[in-house]
Chains A and B, each alone.
Chain A
Amino acid sequence: AQSVSQHNHHVILSEAASLELGCNYSYGGTVNLFWYVQYPGQHLQLLLKYFSGDPLVKGIKGFEAEFIKSKFSFNLRKPSVQWSDTAEYFCAVNSGGYQKVTFGTGTKLQVIP
């Protein structure tokens, strides 16, 4: 069965600091990779996705993620965080052609002004 590991459960950063959230998955076949975000009081929404092609993908609000197949990793990055980036971030994996998605346990990011 697939599993997704997020290494940081709670991250606190000051505004303008750089962000990198780690994500590793266990499935060795073809996968689709995602980062979802849940802002306070809002529903879970897609931040960015990787299906194939360029392993460096860009999402909304200046976020990007890099797929490293040899490391089974899909780390999320942002060069300079803002207070509005305070949210919970979930890494997720899908394989098999249907909509069964396996989520990591989430990382709560708190950005201090």
Chain B
Amino acid sequence: KAGVTQTPRYLIKTRGQQVTLSCSPISGHRSVSWYQQTPGQGLQFLFEYFSETQRNKGNFPGRFSGRQFSNSRSEMNVSTLELGDSALYLCASSREGATGELFFGEGSRLTVL
């Protein structure tokens, strides 16, 4: 079965702009989580959605937001981009009950100039 699909794979933005990233989970997976990966900080948890509801949120400013649709697809948005937002944004999906067992996409690499 198809894996987790993230779009776009690469994008370049300038400071102050906003960006929307998309994630399609594995079929049947209702939980979608987002992580930010940077060389200095490693993988940092952003938020998790299940059945269109945010269940968990990491320690990121309000400029980072997300949502989940009824088909479990998810989007995350970053507004008023800063240079420090340059990172690989990873989406992961999981089955209900398999806590912590994540299936990752290949990520969206965001560069902010």
| A10 contacts chain B at the CB level, 8 A cutoff | no
Q: A100-B56, A101-B45 are in contact. Are A46 and B105 (CB under 8 A)?
A: no
Looking at the assembled complex, report how far the CB atom of A28 sits from the nearest CB atom of chain B, in whole angstroms.
17
As a 0/1 sequence over residues 71 to 104 of chain A, the CB contacts with chain B under 8 angstroms (1 = contact) are: 0000000000000000000101110011111111
Cβ–Cβ contact B90 & A49, under 8 A: no
Interface Cβ pair total, 8 Å cutoff: 65
Q: Give chain A nearest CB distance to B22 CB in angstroms.
A: 16
Report A-chain residues with C-beta under 8 Å of the C-beta of B68. Answer: none
B58: Cβ under 8 A from any A Cβ: yes
A43-B4, A45-B103, A100-B45 known, 20 other contacts, Cβ within 8 Å: A32-B100, A36-B102, A43-B104, A43-B106, A44-B90, A45-B104, A46-B101, A46-B102, A46-B103, A98-B56, A99-B31, A99-B48, A99-B56, A99-B100, A100-B33, A100-B56, A101-B102, A105-B41, A105-B42, A106-B43
Q: Identify the B interface with A (CB < 8 A).
A: 3-4, 31, 33, 35, 41-43, 45, 48, 50, 55-56, 58, 90, 92, 94, 99-107
